[in-house]
Amino acid sequence: MTQRLRSTSHFQISFFTTSAPSLSQALTVDFRKGHDGLAALVQSHLQKKPFDGAVYVFRAKRVDRLKMIWWDGTGLVMAYKRLEQNAFKWPAIRDGVLRLDPAQFEALFAGLDWRRVTALETRPPAAAE
């Protein structure tokens, strides 16, 4: 499944994930951590498998920064984003995991208020036309 995150006339960021949800760590993490440190945090603190295809999103103490890691089938990928003029909309800092559907994840990554985004409930058709 391809999720296009952001597109401008200069570049396009896309990445591939399975249908696993995005998981956001509600605690702030040390942003000096790299691929291995964040993967270890996923395993030890979240008790999840960092190579399961889910996108794991981590927040910094400063609310204008986030890091993501995900397994793309060939290696562990890490992305870092800093908003220039705004802040990411995060829940209150507490232990736990926040699950985001793809629409909420795209809103978060774009710097929008993901709490106002809801996916449409669509039933599959009963038969092909």
Helix (H) or strand (E) holding 68: strand 65-71
Domain that holds residue 76: 2-6+15-115
pLDDT tens-digit readout, 18-72: 444 566 655 678 889 999 999 998 888 888 888 988 888 888 888 888 888 988 8
Dihedral sign, CA of 112, 99, 75, 31? positive
Q: Is 129 domain-assigned?
A: no
- pLDDT-based confidence at 15, cuts 50/70/90? very low
Q: What is the pLDDT of residue 27?
A: 61
Query: How many independent structural domains does the chain possess?
Result: 1
Q: What is the pLDDT of residue 2?
A: 41
Q: Is 123 domain-assigned?
A: no
Give the chain's mean pLDDT. 75
- Count the alpha carbons within 13 Å of 91 in the hemisphere toward its beta carbon: 14
Predicted model pTM? 0.69
CA distance between the termini of the chain: 25
Helix (H) or strand (E) holding 4: strand 2-7
